[in-house]
Structure 1
Amino acid sequence: MTKVIFMGTPLFSVPVLQQIIRDGYEVIAVVTQPDRPVGRKRTLTPPPVKVEAVVQGIRVIQPEKLKGSEELEEIKELKPDLIVTAAFGQLLPKDLLDIPKLGCINVHASLLPELRGGAPIHHAIIQGKPETGISIMYMAEKLDAGDVISQQKVEITDVDNVGTLHDKLSETGAKLLSETLPSLINQTVKRIPQDHSRATFAWNIKREEELIDWSLPGKAIYNQIRGLYPWPVAYTTYRDKTMKILKAEKVEVKHKKEPGVILDKSDRGPIVATGDSTALLIVELQPFGKKKMLASDFLRGAGADLAVGERIGSFNE
């Protein structure tokens, strides 16, 4: 039986691990990130992959950093035939890549060589791409630069957000890996080198990328909002305080108002001017220091005095 070490951390990785187990491979260990403090109370919380591994009775290894660590030596001693990673969160050192006879492979949430890096789902939506997908590839020392084994496209609809697309890609990744592993184990797969000249990168989202610039076209802002939902969430300012914008809808409106101006107050929420004729109806928001709420509830409560003609945010904050 093929001995597999699985390496992953967030929810995206869990269906992939579950599929490997269902397919009958021997998962001899799971490697994941250390437990981290979560929430306002900073409660030490295990990553989702660890939770699943414990349920399955699988040995768990949690290195802070792999290179030169005791955990790396522990992995070497296990002598896996194959290492499978999916959103593990660390680059693998060369001496680890060389261990398994069948190699180290990664389930990556983009159509490589596009969107290499840690936030491909976010950037695919923010960039307004009509599709993305899953790539299963051999791992290399450089970030997401290894030869591709298989790929599967996934449509991005106009109402997808990071949460919905994450789930679709996670399920697709698990299924594609299941279809790919038999030929990989039989060593009949074809390796397809990536065209590195076409590589683009999807770095982890920075705080400044969460800020809405209302002078941008409405569609771009709409893509930003859904490309940051449900995490880390786009935000603007309202009366000099931060306000998170969780959900919005596009509305075509002819106007000559400055970006960020409240054009109207509908039953569902305020309609905000952007840099073109595509205004945005804010549907769900989170005022500073409060819980997230429907924009309609905000207008009936704390935002009851929000006036048409008032401006939120600014051109370049």
Structure 2
Amino acid sequence: MDKKFKIIFMGTPDFAVPALEALHQNGYDVALVITQPDRPKGRGRKLLPPPVKETAVKLGYDIIQPETMKGDEIAGHIRELRPDLFVVVAFGHILPRRLLDLPRIGPINIHASLLPKYRGSAPIQRAVINGEKESGVTTMFMDEGMDTGDILLSEKTEITADDTSASLHDRLAILGANLLIKTLKGFEAGNIVPVPQNHDQATGAPLLNKKDGHIDWKKPAKMLDPFIRGMTPWPGAFTFHGDKRLKIFKAVPVPLDTDDPPGTVIRSFPDELRVATGKDALSVLEIQGASGKRLSIRDFLRGYDIPPGTVLC
């Protein structure tokens, strides 16, 4: 296959890997892969490469891992390559204007939402948490704003009642890779028309941190269900039984009319854990103790007693 476009690819985590693989499979000239430096991970704090680096090594691409994109050296290196396009996917570095101006056609980003909704670092989690019925991916030209550039193409997908952030993440990664190739072919055919975003319709998706996973039992059960799914696998939805932290992976709303305060464990069958919420109750299906593994609620309760009347907080 003839090479099409000279591309510099910038990305770091698992989400970016399908896009890099799609470029390779479709014969595009990836002149350079730029990714984050190796970082210490796990209990042993062993230095490990990011997923994009691992893939780029397998595919035989040149790789650089700068700590910053602001230096003269990186700009000079990119300028010498004379790229047609940047393809940027969950890179983790902000690109200054002088870099954004370097590619002949422009810098393209794949964003995991239907822009202008959910601009920011956590669009997948926020869409699930907020109970959205659909999500998607968008290709856009990058500017100096946070996901504010002109839209090129977009593709939708349904958010199902079983979706977690993990399952939606994996689906959107593949969808984004396919949309990238469709976008590049559109440029080849000359039929891509960038469309400015309607900034009045924009919503944000700020980065999550660990404390954001704390369950507020005062919220109705129908809101806590997508909250738990959106927090899975990270940062994880959690509550406290006394001083013990319990991580909840899966739960379903159940109708309940009770005067018990939110967070109160309701009397039910021995292998169930039902908790009063601001409206109705939440039946916990999968849970993990402070030191243990993820278990079904039946297996968990065999070794851990949470009697009715207990208040989780």
TM-score range, shorter chain: over 0.9
TM superposition score normalised by structure 1: 0.94
**Distance apart, 1:147 and its partner CA:** 0.2
Which residue number in structure 2 is paired with residue 264 of structure 1? 267
Report 1:40-79 matches (<5 A). 40-68=43-71, 70-79=73-82
SS, match of residue 170 in structure 2: helix
Which residue number in structure 2 is paired with residue 300 of structure 1? 302
2:82 and 2:104 in contact (8 A); partners too: no
Unaligned runs of 5+ in 1: none
SS, match of residue 4 in structure 1: strand
Alignment pair present for 1:225 and 2:217: no
Amino acid at match of 2:292: K
Match of 1:127 among 130, 133, 149: 130
Alignment pair present for 1:3 and 2:10: no
Q: Quick one: distance in 1 between partners of 2:209 and 2:26?
A: 38
Which residue number in structure 2 is paired with residue 148 of structure 1? 151
Which residue number in structure 1 is paired with residue 83 of structure 2? 80
**Distance apart, 1:113 and its partner CA:** 0.6
Which residue number in structure 2 is paired with residue 193 of structure 1? 196
**Distance apart, 1:294 and its partner CA:** 2.2
Q: Quick one: distance in 2 between partners of 1:231 and 1:50?
A: 22
Q: Quick one: distance in 2 between partners of 1:39 and 1:218?
A: 34
Q: Stretches of 4+ moved more than 6 A in 1?
A: none
SS, match of residue 254 in structure 2: strand
1:62 and 1:71 in contact (8 A); partners too: no
**Distance apart, 1:76 and its partner CA:** 2.5
**Distance apart, 1:268 and its partner CA:** 5.0
Q: Quick one: distance in 2 between partners of 1:69 and 1:239?
A: 54
Alignment pair present for 1:26 and 2:32: no
**Distance apart, 1:267 and its partner CA:** 5.8
CA RMSD of aligned residues (A): 1.5
Instruction: Describe the superposition over 1:44-88 as per-residue Cα deviations: whole angstroms up to 9, x where unpaired.
Output: 111111110011011111112211263343223222111101111
Which residue number in structure 2 is paired with residue 311 of structure 1? 311
Which residue number in structure 2 is paired with residue 176 of structure 1? 179
Q: Quick one: distance in 2 between partners of 1:238 and 1:291?
A: 17
Instruction: Describe the superposition over 1:113-165 as per-residue Cα deviations: whole angstroms up to 9, x where unpaired.
Output: 11001110000011111111111000001110000010111111111000110
Distance verdict in 2 for CA 1:243–1:20, change over 3 Å: same
**Distance apart, 1:283 and its partner CA:** 1.5
SS, match of residue 267 in structure 2: strand
Instruction: Point out the more displaced range, 10-19 or 288-297.
Output: 288-297
SS, match of residue 66 in structure 1: coil
SS, match of residue 237 in structure 1: strand
Which residue number in structure 2 is paired with residue 288 of structure 1? 290
Q: How many residues align?
A: 310
Instruction: Point out the more displaced range, 249-258 or 101-110.
Output: 249-258
2:12 and 2:51 in contact (8 A); partners too: yes
Which residue number in structure 2 is paired with residue 207 of structure 1? 210
Instruction: Describe the superposition over 1:21-55 as per-residue Cα deviations: whole angstroms up to 9, x where unpaired.
Output: 11110111111111111122212111111110011
SS, match of residue 258 in structure 1: coil
Unaligned runs of 5+ in 2: none
Instruction: Describe the superposition over 1:181-218 as per-residue Cα deviations: whole angstroms up to 9, x where unpaired.
Output: 12224543101000112111101103332111101111
Distance verdict in 2 for CA 1:259–1:101, change over 3 Å: same
**Distance apart, 1:310 and its partner CA:** 0.9
TM superposition score normalised by structure 2: 0.95
Q: Quick one: distance in 1 between partners of 2:131 and 2:234?
A: 18
Q: Quick one: distance in 1 between partners of 2:103 and 2:308?
A: 64
Query: What is the percentage of aligned positions where both structures have the same residue?
Result: 45
Match of 2:96 among 93, 96, 99: 93
SS, match of residue 247 in structure 1: strand
1:137 and 1:146 in contact (8 A); partners too: yes
